[in-house]
Structure 1
Amino acid sequence: MDAGTKILIATLLGAIGMGYIVYGRKQFKGSALVAGIVLCVYPYFVPNLLLLIVAGLAVMAAPFFIHD
């Protein structure tokens, strides 16, 4: 596993997570807010690159299926 690739993907997921946090706070959407927090935090704890990508996609899709 290339460390640079993992850092790049973790940074991208964190930036998307910040977008979810801003959207969740402004629109009072709890699911988007929680998804944003998870996207910002979980890359620190996932060592596998494939799992990082798959879990990130799942968390990004979750607010579209969970309605507040």
Structure 2
Amino acid sequence: MDEINTLESLGFTLPTPAYLFGAILFGIIGYVAYRFGKKTTNNYIKWLGVVLMFYPYAVPSTWMLYVVGIGLCGACYYYRDR
């Protein structure tokens, strides 16, 4: 337990379970979108899938993870037929 306190004093914190669940969920959705976009040669969906897979590394808070993820999923839905 001392190691965790030492890391927290240095500014490192562990992500919450909600953040981990969201990162895994949007990563899986991103992978599916990437495969769908590649199969249908839809570049919008393919690149949105890549962004969905990797954006959790750049988003620091849980609420922002879900807002951006839902927005990107909405963009995938919008561009699915193009």
CA distance in 1, matches of 2:78, 2:31: 19
Q: Is the 2:33–2:76 contact (alpha carbons within 8 Å) kept by the matching residues of 1?
A: no
**Given the alignment, which residue of 17, 30, 46 partners 1:4?**
17
* Correspondent of 1:24 among 34, 37, 41: 37
Bigger CA radius of gyration? 2
- Unaligned stretches of 5+ in structure 2? 1-14
Q: CA deviation at 1:14?
A: 0.2
Aligned to 2:57: 44
Runs of 4+ in 1 over 2 A off after TM superposition: 63-68
Percent identity over paired residues: 28
Identify the residue that residue 15 of structure 1 maps to in structure 2: 28
TM-score (norm 1): 0.87
* RCO comparison, higher one (Cα < 8 Å, 6+): 1
Structure 1 unmatched ranges of 5 or more = none
The TM-score normalised by the length of structure 2 is 0.74
